[in-house]
Each structure stands twice: as structure tokens, then as C-alpha cells.
Amino acid sequence: AMAGCGWARAVRGLLLDVSGVLYDSGADGGVPIAGSAEAVRRIKASGLKLQLCTNETQATRENFVRKLRALGFDISVSEVTAPAPAACRLLRERGLRPHLLVHHDLVPEFAEVDKTNPNCVVLGDAAENFTYENLNEAFRLLIGMEKPILISLGKGRYYKETDGLKLDVGAYMKALEYACDVQAEVVGKPAKRFFESALAELGVPPEQAIMIGDDIVNDVGGAQQCGMRALQVRTGKYRPSDENHPEVKPDAYVNNLAEAVDIILQHL
């Protein structure tokens, strides 16, 4: 086996980030990253447990999975942990009625939630919906609240699509935090509770799980804070500067998911 792979021992389950690890998203539906569909098949054939842990908020989980299956990934909805269902649970638990500033394709995820007379704002990766008008509407609602509540479905700075890098929800979250002097509550990576729910769905304790992602802070840092090992792939939004990150040191760097799976399966 390869040297320095102590991180690969005693694994029972894998959490995979999706965008930048399995595929690069894009207007055309995106493109799979070479070897990743085969890597998912090999994980499943090996008997390792698998859960996708994504901050994807531009589609319902059903449509997201349909897209992944069309790209050749053998994945079911139950294998996806995503922010919108987690946010719906939180809204119900706390009796919150959201004003949604999200991608229009995500709205069906909130169908069961009372949205009349909103007492909070839920922010997702709205892409083209992030107009001045829509941001200003969310701002006015928040600034008018005695105790403003801003819930953000992730806090990523940018992600990679086939035609280049795209601003992510975190940039808009910061704008509203600044304007309203409010601290957003993040549902999604790197929130500890989100990783814990993914682990619960995986049915594996953190010390027997490995997270594989392209986002040094949200994937790698978030997973390590939960007691998991975490690998950084050199695909997706990865940039060489990530390897000098002042706070986060991955357990290993791998060129792609396929390479990570090779090493992990050698140690089973």
C-alpha cells in the first residue's frame, strides 16, 4: 500500500461532497469528473456506507438526484443530506415562517412550511434571483424585525461551474449580516449539526468516517471539527493556495475521488 496512508484505516463510511467531487455543475447540466461514477460504484460494491453531504440549494433533492443519475451516478434520494430539508425541520421546531430568498427550483422543498407573515429570512444559492430588488426586500424584512433571524443554507464563498467560478450564498449572507447587524445561522456545511445528521443517516460514528470534499473550510475543516478525517481533492474549486491554509490541514490531499477510493479500498 502507499506510504503515509494511516488516515485510510478503520473506515466504515464515506461522506462525499458532490459539486467539485462527483461533477462540475453548469448550465448544460454539468459534467462528471473523470472516474467519479466508477468510484461511487466501487464504494458501494465494497460494502462501505455512502452518504452525499452537499450544500446544493439550486434544486430539490429529487431533481438533484435525477440529474446525478443522468450523469451516471448510482445514487438515491435517501443517500443525500442537503440543507433545505434540515432547514424545514428547524423552521417547524421553532415555529418560524420564512421569507424565502432562494433559487426558484428549490421552492418546492418548502411547500409544507407556513410562509404567511414571515418572521425570518431563509437564504439559499439563488443565483440569478440575487437581484438588488430581492436582496433589498430581504433586507427590509430583517431590519424591520425586533429580533432579526437570518438562516443561510450554507456559507460558501464561491463554487466552480463548467464556465468558471460563481459567487455563492456566503457572499450575500455577509451582505445581509453587515446591513442588518445580524449573525446568520448556517444550516449546511460547515455547521456541526449538519455533519452530525449526515453521520446519523450514514449510521457510522465520526471516527470511522471520512469526508471527501473540494472546499477546504466547509468540507474539510467542518468535518474535522466533528471528529472525522477529511480529504481534499484537487478537483472542483480546489486552488493550490488551499494547501497553505492557515487553519485547516486535511488528513491528505488526493488528485480526485477515484484516487481516494483506490487508497481506502486497499486498506479495507
State pLDDT tens for residues 7-43. Answer: 999 999 999 999 999 999 998 889 999 999 999 999 9
Q: Please name the amino acid found at residue 259.
A: E
Phi, psi of 19 (to 5 degrees): -70, 125
pLDDT of residue 157: 96
**Which has the minimum average pLDDT: 24-28, 182-186, 239-243?**
24-28
Burial 59-79 (b: 16+ CB within 10 A, else e): bbbeebbebbeebebebeeeb
Round to whole Å and give the CA distance between 193 and 175: 24
3-state secondary structure at position 150: strand
pLDDT-based confidence at residue 176 (cuts at 50, 70, 90): very high
Element (H, E) at 99: strand 98-101
Q: What is the pLDDT of residue 5?
A: 86
pLDDT tens-digit readout, 111-138: 999 999 999 999 999 999 999 999 999 9
Check residue 28 and give its pLDDT: 87
Domains of the chain: 12-22+30-40+47-55+189-266 (3.40.50.1000), 84-186 (3.40.50.1000)
pTM score of the predicted model: 0.96
User: Which cell numbers hold the place of 199?
Assistant: 453521520
Looking at residue 1, what is its pLDDT? 44
DSSP characters for 27-38? TTS-EEPTTHHH
CA gap 230, 221 in Å, rounded: 8
Dihedral sign for Cα 172, 174, 177, 183, please. positive
Q: Quick check: 2 pLDDT over 70?
A: no
Report the mean per-residue pLDDT for the chain.
97
Over pLDDT 90: what percentage of the chain? 97
Between residues 1 and 53, the one the model is more confident about: 53
User: By the 8 A CB rule, do 148 and 139 touch?
Assistant: no
Mean pLDDT, to the nearest integer, of 62-85?
97
Give per-residue pLDDT as tens, 150-159. 999 999 999 9
pLDDT for position 43: 98
> For residue 174, is pLDDT > 80?
yes
Instruction: Give 3's pLDDT tier (boundaries 50, 70, 90).
Output: low
For cell 451582505, the residue is: 175
Over the stretch 242-263, which tens digit does the pLDDT of each residue have?
Answer: 999 999 999 999 999 999 999 9
Among residues 111, 67, 103, the alpha carbon closest in space to that of 85 is found at 111
